[in-house]
Structure 1
Amino acid sequence: MATPTPTLRPLSCWRTLLRHARQQKVATRSLTTYHKSVTFSKFEIPLPNAVKIPTKIKTYPPPPSPAQKFKEPLKDFTNDQLSILDPTGARSHLFSKTNPEAAKVGDILLVRLKTGDPFAGVCINIRRRGVDTGILLRNELTRVGVEMWYKIYSPNVEGIEVVQRREKRARRARLTYMRKPKHDMGSVQNIVLAYQRSRGAMAGGPAQQQKKGNKKGKGKKK
């Protein structure tokens, strides 16, 4: 009887066998690691198929948004600044479009400053920009035309007075044509001086009359 000869396998066959064995080993390890036994305490009731109810996460509402309170932030900011710069609202009322007695282009305005000499001139432009509202006054000083921009809400502006109103309503928003020699009003200093004299007479009228009466009485006694 012939002795059986051992079968010889090539090296590549052994490599495939080892590779399959290694893959099976990794698969068994993954199954064992991912399988966890659920343990219940003595106060918990075990559910079928070992299903555990997940705990509820506590949630908080979102913080309040400033957009809900300030729907128009620019308008609110403008009103806040106006309440600081013009608490009485007199300047806003003086240049308001809804006010029938508001200052308009063509009127002669007198601007009094806290630091500096007052300036009077014909208002040839009113630029309404909220807090940056400004007026352009034109006057003639030493036979030279001078134009000055003034912010009506500036802290340096002490007061604005209407010296003389225009007889007819101006048909333009900007009276730039008054820069031409044909339409230039020239100096308004005489009109301003007459206005100041009338204001002084109205302010000190009764007192001056009383002083005059006292002087006349003293003269008669003598």
Structure 2
Amino acid sequence: MACTKPIHSPLHQWHNIFRALPMLSPLSARPLSTASQTTTPKPRIPPPRLPANISQKVFTPPKKIKTYPPPPSTRNHHPFAIAAINEAHITTLDPTGARTRLFSRSNPDVPRVGDILLATFTTGDPFSGICLNIRRRGPDTAILLRNRLLTVGVEMWIKIYSPKVRSIEVVERAVKRARRARLYYLRKPKHDRGSVEGVVEEYLKRRRLLRSGAVGVREPTASAKNPSAARKGVGAR
């Protein structure tokens, strides 16, 4: 007996499913990216209630912080505070005011660049040289001296208000006033004046004579030491 029941293949079943897709609900036809947005919103969870045994004072807002007005400004009493501080430092470092008057611009005998100065210290040997620069900056005022020691040029910055500086003396004035404020061109071999030790030795010798009281005394010359040599013309130019 022949079987009259039709045989349905798996492909025929999938064909029926695809034909029924347009008749489904619009939600099933949406892509997955938008289908999740139409879900029902989650219920809002109310905040937890405080138990009855907990006091409500724990959750009170903080107290207002006490503020204080700013301190009075010192500008009303000291409009130029930096200048006052510098004056106080200079008064402490130079109680007699000798170094301040020496390097004051109003002083007619003020040291200038090009002069030969001699600085002595409380510790160490003195240093002398030609003044190349004078830097006036209140308590930080300093001078730059240059000398040649053993054929080597040596320069030194000297703070005039330093406690280690005992004295600063003018050994020799420049013949002509320099037209520059900094004589750095003296570092070149063409303009280098060399060592000033001979000039300083003559100055120290004259100072010793003045302090000893022999102001008009001169050192004996070669003719005074040896009269017979003077008659023969020895030592005469």
- TM (norm. structure 1) is 0.64
Note closer, same or farther for the CA distance 1:207–1:124 as it changes in structure 2 (3 Å cut).
closer
Q: How many residue pairs align between the two structures?
A: 149
Per the alignment, residue 176 of structure 2 pairs with 168
Note closer, same or farther for the CA distance 1:207–1:133 as it changes in structure 2 (3 Å cut).
closer
Q: Which has the higher helix share?
A: 1
**1:163-194 superposed Cα distances (whole Å, 9 cap, x missing partner):** 00001110000000100111111000000000
Structure 1 CA distance for aligned equivalents of residues 152 and 73 of structure 2:
57
**1:201-221 superposed Cα distances (whole Å, 9 cap, x missing partner):** 011034998xxxxxxxxxxxx
Note closer, same or farther for the CA distance 1:67–1:112 as it changes in structure 2 (3 Å cut).
same
Q: What's the secondary structure of 1:102's corresponding residue?
A: coil
Structure 2 CA distance for aligned equivalents of residues 63 and 174 of structure 1:
46
State the percentage of identical aligned residues.
Answer: 55
**Pairwise CA distance, 1:66:** 2.1
Aligned residue among 114, 130, 138 for 2:122: 114
Instruction: Work out whether 1:138 is the aligned partner of 2:131.
Output: no
Per the alignment, residue 197 of structure 1 pairs with 205
Structure 2: give runs of 5+ residues left out of the alignment: 1-69, 218-237
Structure 2 CA distance for aligned equivalents of residues 109 and 63 of structure 1:
50
Amino acid at match of 2:201: L
**Pairwise CA distance, 1:103:** 0.4
Amino acid at match of 1:93: R
Structure 1: give runs of 5+ residues left out of the alignment: 1-61, 210-222
Instruction: Work out whether 1:102 is the aligned partner of 2:130.
Output: no
Structure 2 CA distance for aligned equivalents of residues 63 and 115 of structure 1:
46
- TM (norm. structure 2) is 0.60
Structure 1 CA distance for aligned equivalents of residues 141 and 118 of structure 2:
16
Structure 2 CA distance for aligned equivalents of residues 139 and 151 of structure 1:
17
Per the alignment, residue 88 of structure 2 pairs with 80
- The answer (yes or no) to whether the contact 2:209–2:215 under 8 Å persists in 1 is no
Q: What's the secondary structure of 2:148's corresponding residue?
A: strand
Instruction: Work out whether 1:69 is the aligned partner of 2:77.
Output: yes
Amino acid at match of 1:183: H
